[in-house]
Amino acid sequence: MRQITVAIWQSASRFVLVLLLVLCVSCSSKRITKANVDQVTEGMSKKQVESILGPPTSLSTEDFVIMKKTTYVYRQGKDTVTVIFKDDKVQSKDSTLSD
């Protein structure tokens, strides 16, 4: 009985180790690339932008009487991507990413 418990524990430990390695590798890959940022175009919705770039590192929203302005900021190392939405549609974007 003890041998079965040890075998189960070892299998579970290996599974957790493999899972952690997979998560670390996927987290270390760059989500914010010039190619991804180039896919973001004027008029896109927040949902469309997030499907390309993922959730923003930070965001701010300003409600004006005639419009709503939201700014998404993506930070990856020293690089920054800023996407500005007017009434929930991309109005402009700016990036410090190089080729």
pTM check: above 0.85: no
Average pLDDT for 12-35: 61
* Whether residues 40 and 63 fall in one domain: yes
Q: What is the mean pLDDT of the chain?
A: 83
Q: What is the dihedral of CA 41, 31, 58, 70, to 10 degrees?
A: 10
Number of Cβ within a 10 Å radius of residue 16: 10
**Can you give the pLDDT at residue 53?**
96
CB 67 within 8 A of CB 85: no
Domain span holding position 22: 1-30
Residue 2 above 70 pLDDT? no
* Whether residues 95 and 63 fall in one domain: yes
**Can you give the pLDDT at residue 25?**
46
pLDDT tens for residues 36-84? 999 999 999 999 999 999 999 999 999 988 889 999 999 999 999 999 9
| Buried/exposed code over 77-96 (b: 16+ C-beta within 10 A; e: otherwise) | eebebebebeeeebeebebe
* Whether residues 4 and 42 fall in one domain: no
* Whether residues 20 and 35 fall in one domain: no
Residue the block writes with tokens 């390695």 = 21
Q: What percent of the chain has pLDDT over 90?
A: 59
Residue 85 above 80 pLDDT? yes
